[in-house]
Amino acid sequence: MRSRRVEERAADILAIWEERRDITLEELRLALADKGMAVSVAGLHRFFVRRGLTRKKRQAMR
């Protein structure tokens, strides 16, 4: 089931993600907490999965 609270703040979540594409889900969670939104890392993961966006960080290539 989709979290209505997270979906209502989708613009805020995506704006932070656009600013820093390399942000981890934990860092994103903390940035959202600074804006007054309490959300779990798992909730953020499900948010990105619903949109088909990959949040996996990749190792730097040589």
In the DSSP assignment, the letter for residue 24 is -
pLDDT at position 5 is: 84
Q: Which pair of structure tokens corresponds to residue 61?
A: 């290539």
pLDDT at position 1 is: 44
**Residue type at position 2:** R
Residue ranges in the chain whose pLDDT is less than 70: 1-2, 55-62
Q: Taking the CB of residue 53, how many other CB atoms lie within 10 A of it?
A: 10
The per-residue b/e assignment along 4-37, b for 16 or more CB within 10 angstroms, e otherwise, is: eebeebeeebeebbeeeeebebeebbebbeeeee
Q: φ and ψ at 48, to 5 degrees?
A: -70, -35
